């Protein structure tokens, strides 16, 4: 774990730059994280981010793409449009959540 300086403050991140403490996240930070990966956040992005954060609070886990679709009502096609190429990874990064486990 390392400490990174983003904008004007310090946050804790893992080796890939994902926040390790979701409570350090806020909306201003999301915009900075998004611009790091070339995204500008639209209302549709915010809908995805807000569902993911609420779901993470409820279940303790970052939602998978399937869960975003079935529980969050955001189709996988839309997720690919919002967060191109690697939607699950990019959304978690911007939302300040760990990468979805998915797979072991």
Partner 1 sequence: MKRLVILGAGTAGTTIANMLTRRLPADWEIEMVDPSWTHLYQPGLLFVPFGLAEPSSLVKPIESHLPRGVTLTRGQVDRVEPDAKRIVLEDGSIIGYDQLVIATGTSPRPDMTPGLTEFGWRDTVHEFYTLAGATALRDALARFEGGRLVVHIAEMPIKCPVAPLEFSFLADDHFKKRNMRELVDIVYVTPLSGAFTKPIAAAKLGGMLESRGIALEPDFMIESVEEGALVSYDERRIPYDLLVTVPVNMGAAFVGRSGLGDELDHVRVDQHTFLAVGQDAVFAIGDAAALPTSKAGSTAHFSVEVFVENFVEHISGRPMSHSFDGHANCFVESGDGKALLIDFNYDTEPLPGVYPVPGFGPLRLMRETRLNHWAKLAFETVYWRALLRGRPLPVPNAMSMAGKVQPSREEIKV
Q: How far is the CB of 81 from partner 1 (least distance, A)?
A: 9
Which residues of the chain form contacts with partner 1 (CB under 8 A)?
64-67, 70-71, 76-77, 79-80, 84-86, 89, 101-104
User: Residues with Cβ < 8 Å from 44, sequence gap 6 or more?
Assistant: 78, 82
Phi and psi at residue 5, to the nearest 5°: -105, 120
Q: How far is the CB of 6 from partner 1 (least distance, A)?
A: 24
Which CB sits closer to partner 1, 24 or 67? Answer: 67
Residue 4's SS3 state is strand
Tokens linked to 97: 């959540």
Q: How far is the CB of 55 from partner 1 (least distance, A)?
A: 11
Angle between helical axes of 43-59 and 87-95 (0-180°, round to 10): 80
**Catalytic status, residue 16:** no
Q: Among the options 1, 3, 103, 104, which is catalytic?
A: 103
Which CB sits closer to partner 1, 35 or 70? Answer: 70
Q: Which residue has the tokens 């990468």?
A: 99
User: Which residues are catalytic, by number?
Assistant: 103
């Amino acid at each position: 774990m390392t400490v990174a300086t983003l904008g004007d403050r310090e946050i804790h991140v893992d080796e890939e730059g994902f926040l390790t403490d979701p409570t350090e996240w806020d909306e201003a930070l999301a915009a900075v994280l998004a611009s790091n990966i070339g995204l500008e956040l639209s209302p549709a992005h915010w809908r995805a981010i807000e569902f993911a954060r609420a779901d993470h609070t409820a279940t303790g886990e970052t939602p998978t793409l399937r869960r975003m679709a079935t529980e969050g009502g955001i189709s996988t096609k839309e997720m690919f449009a919002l967060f191109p190429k690697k939607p699950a990874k990019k959304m978690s990064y911007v939302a300040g959540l760990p990468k979805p486990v998915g797979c072991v």
